Chain A
Amino acid sequence: AQTVTQSQPEMSVQEAETVTLSCTYDTSESDYYLFWYKQPPSRQMILVIRQEAYKQQNATENRFSVNFQKAAKSFSLKISDSQLGDAAMYFCAYTEDSNYQLIWGAGTKLIIKP
């Protein structure tokens, strides 16, 4: 069965600096999709960035970028120029064409220090 692992329960970073959140996954599929979602305290889950496994180029969305290493089954999220509004739980999630449910990691709590 597919699994997603986030090994960092909590990370902290100084405002304006860069932080990287880790995610690894296990699958025997070759085509799949990976996502990072953000969940601020008491607020809804927001899609941050997506990556298709068939694409070699790493996805970027403004200050957010991923380092997708397919062979290593690793999908880390880099947040540049961290802002106070980035404070949230960050979840890594996986899905594939044949199974539409998202499989989630346990999350990483990101703390931004002013």
Chain B
Amino acid sequence: DTGVSQDPRHKITKRGQNVTFRCDPISEHNRLYWYRQTLGQGPEFLTYFQNEAQLEKSRLLSDRFSAERPKGSFSTLEIQRTEQGDSAMYLCASSSGLAGAHEQYFGPGTRLTVT
């Protein structure tokens, strides 16, 4: 079990550019989550997948954000027309989906800096 991985670990982009992040969950975990964390704060929920279905999406997630999990394995989070306010750590987590197993396991995050 290699844990949750995220790529890239760091991304610097200019305002207005599009960026895409990838998350590979723990194998056989059917639930995958994206969170955003700004410095000194707790994470904020963005979206959640069960297998390939996106079941929940935060109102924080503007139309510029889109997430996919096409085959129920890895997921991508795309931000279009980035803004300086998008600068944050983007965290991915996964959980098994077994009854009562609500603990989520996190990846190292992707730190986005928009200049």
Contact = CB atoms under 8 A, between A and B. Distances in A.
Secondary structure at chain A's binding surface: helix, strand, loop or mixed?
strand
Nearest to B104: A102
A33 B42 contact: no
A74 B109 CA distance: 29
Interface in A41-86: 43-47, 50, 52
B42 A106 contact: yes
Interface residues of B, number: 24
A100 B43 contact: no
B28 interface: no
Range of interface residues on A (Cβ < 8 Å): 20 to 34
A46 B104 CA distance: 9
Interface of B: 31, 33, 35, 40-45, 48, 56, 58, 91, 93, 95, 100, 102-109
Interface of A: 4, 33, 35, 37, 43-47, 50, 52, 91, 93, 95, 97, 99-107
